Amino acid sequence: MPSPVGHALGGLIVGLALNPRTLGTLGTIACAAVFPDVDFLWGGHNRETHSLGAAILAGLVVLAWTRGRNPRLAIAVTLAWSTHVLFDWLGSDDTPPLGVMALWPLSSTFYFGDAFVFEAISRRYWLPNFVSHNAWAVIKETLILGPPFLLLTALRWRARRRSRRPGTT
Ligand SMILES: [Zn+2]
């Protein structure tokens, strides 16, 4: 299961793909991708917050918060939250129950992709490889998610420069 760095990159990729108007909006979308790990606070990582149901609920909260005026942001928040569910499903996990409760509230089954695309972030700080393992996990996430993030950033940057050039509309 990726670190906050990997999850934030997932949110930024979604945000950049949907062309947010401000950096604040992009930051909000990135936070939505990290937010499902709030369940660490009550010691239950990978349960209800790690579901597509929670992703839809988050979008509905944004829709209500903006009084229906920003459905685009609501969709972005739902998609960014969903990347967290996807990445944790694709990641390694060594703490049972393995996987995520992806289809909550329809089902409380835990789904595990068995794909090991991302490393599991270790919280066992007493182990000798704690720092090296987590450093490798963050590097691997960055190597996987960095290129699409940089490509989208470059495309947005180019589009913005073109739209600001005199004589263009
Ligand atoms: Zn998570």
Using a CB cutoff of 5 Å, list residues around ligand 1, an ion.
37, 88
**Contact criterion met (CB below 8 Å) for 149 and 13:** yes
Residue 100 bridge partners (DSSP): 111
pTM of the predicted structure, to 2 decimals: 0.92
Q: What is the pLDDT of residues 40-94, one digit of tens each?
A: 898 878 999 999 999 999 999 999 999 999 999 999 999 999 999 999 999 998 8
* Spacing, Cα 165 to ligand 1 middle (Å): 42
**Domains in the chain: boundaries:** 4-121+132-164
Instruction: Give distance in angstroms: CA of 143 to centre of ligand 1.
Output: 19
Q: How far is the CA of 18 from the centre of ligand 1 (A)?
A: 23
- Residue 158 C-alpha to ligand 1 middle, in angstroms? 33
Q: How far does the centroid of ligand 1 lie from the alpha carbon of residue 169, in Å?
A: 43
Number of Cβ atoms within 10 Å of the Cβ of 64: 10
DSSP state of 123: -
High-pLDDT (> 70) share of the chain, %: 98
CA 15 to ligand 1 centroid distance, Å: 19
Structure confidence at residue 168 (pLDDT): 53
Cis? peptide before 36, omega within 30° of 0: no
CA distance 123 to 128: 12
